[in-house]
Structure 1
Amino acid sequence: MSLLRAGIVGCGAIFPMHAASVAASGAARLVAVCDPDANKLESASQLYGCAGYDRLEEMLERERLDVLHLCTPHYLHPPQAILAAGCGIHVLTEKPMCIASADGEAMIEACRRHGVQLGVIFQNRYNPGARLIREALDDGSLGAIRGARCSVLWSRSDEYYAESGWRGTWSKEGGGVLINQSIHTLDLMRWFMDAEVSRVEAQLANRRHPGIEVEDTAEGLIAFDNGVNALFYVTTAYSHDAPVEIELHGEKGTAKLTADQAVVTYQDGTVISRDRLPQDAMDYGGGAKSYWGVSHFKQIQDFYRSVSRGEAPVIDGREALKTSRMIEAIYRAGRTREPVLL
């Protein structure tokens, strides 16, 4: 079987996770990259020995791609996905798939109309700890979930926001800590619930970053239609990046995810845990953070398998849009200070 021809648009911080995964996949080869920044483009194209373009339209026209990876700012995901779909190219986009859910729906429809797959990166669902909790929920050993909570207490400097022309803005990032740093954790909690969101309540604040338009702190409640109330507190105004936490309180025990490690404690005293193995690592190069693990690689491999088989990926546009709609509702609740019903 011939290798899929892959391209990547966006050669910034998340680029190495995708480029190295393509190179190691055994299913695709990176034939082209695109970025308007000449220095980033030259570095990426030389590192991977592929063609470089400063315009996406030109890359799509000339390279006959099978798959396009979107590693660009949030606001560009919908138009770039729709453009690629129109060229008959499968799309794998970084989170969030969109800022506004209407744009996400347009992405899904464009990919459906042109017969291509749309995948969205939520790689933490592939982490061993997250999988253990999902298994305990699926086999019923925790019983019905009575409550849930999650927290993301991280630190982002003023320089982090200032070095980019899109972070910290409503129009380009679409928000702050909710849509960027904590979306993975909120997605995991929604995935664990395996239920539809029925109501959200929220408060938004900017505690420590006067130079940005958006929130650096948010807290609230997400009510699911199975009767579970989930609480969240997220911020980039903390002193350091503390381990992410998710806790589920079940009839027969509790499940707690702390960073990558999951611990399931049953009422009969049984304790089961799972963590990322030391050997479960990958050198992404390019300054990628080691704690990101191998789950990008796992999801990208999974996406390529789906494309090769003509099947929808596990985390497709419709699945990812549920999380985007939840985030959108949290913002609406925070702005209006009223509960939002879905």
Structure 2
Amino acid sequence: MAILWSPKGLAAVILVGEAFALVLALPPGRSADPLVYFGLASFLVQWTLLGSLAAAYALREPLSQLPLRLAIWALPAILVAVAGAVGAGAGAWLSWAGHREDFSNYVMPFMGVAMVAGVVGIALLVALMNLQEQRLRAEQAESDALRARVRPHFLFNTLNTAISLLQKSPTEAERVLLSLSDLFRASLAGEQDWSIADELAITRAYLDIEGARLGDRLRVDWHGDPPLHLTLPALLLQSLVENAVQHGIEPLREGGSISIEFTMEGPDLSIRVSNPVSTANATERKHRGHQIGLAATLQRLERRRPLPGRLVVERGSDRFVATAVLPFPPQATTR
């Protein structure tokens, strides 16, 4: 509710109030000068809205102790009480000024309109909050499912690799298992952003695991200087690299080289991951792999806040390139 007390919030309240006063002043069948009624309606509406904001601000401490929805439903009560006070005060002042018209004929309907408008407005706000919560819960559940997903054969392969290393290189086996533990911990940590430095560490842990399994078939070339202080969705780079290993390196008997490149273009950070592909039929390659993992990555980029990212995919005759583009506020990139 703090946004209502900001300059933009106050300006929006005043504009909405004037629009509401205009509606009240122009009912069908009224023969008198509508400007007079507009002036009276504008006076009542603006004093009611601003008075309600002042009362809500004064009561912000006790309201903050209430559950959010209960605090929101307290606003119509404040609105009606202030509307009655403003209407009664306006009627008393006009009577004191010598106006003979009974302004209670306007005050009571005005209070009724304020109550109805307040209740309907709050009901719509609560409904929108419920929809927003449902959407966020659905996105969170989907994201958790994607992040918690560890391919069974990847787990089995890693364990088999560690077992095979126990005899000839126990230290290497221990390193593989520690890397697997780090990867599991990051996968199950839930939706979060973390620094590029953390992302590089978990990606290297994943590459250590696959490097122990694939040996010389897996080579990695790093390019560019990543801005380590910037943040990105956790496991974003790791997902792109996993996709490159699974669908690029594994199908090739001779293996190949994965290229990982970081580029800053103004406020945008581009993370480019490319891998070799089989020379099999292009249509077959298009429908084999890549789609599921990259679709999940794209969804996470589109949900990124405050600025959504995008994913650019290029399929060449011998290379597959996936580029994640993450825009940042200008101040975030200057450090």
Query: Scaled by the length of structure 2, what TM-score is found?
Result: 0.21
More helix, by proportion: 2
Q: Which has the higher strand share?
A: 1
Provide TM-score, normalisation by structure 1: 0.20
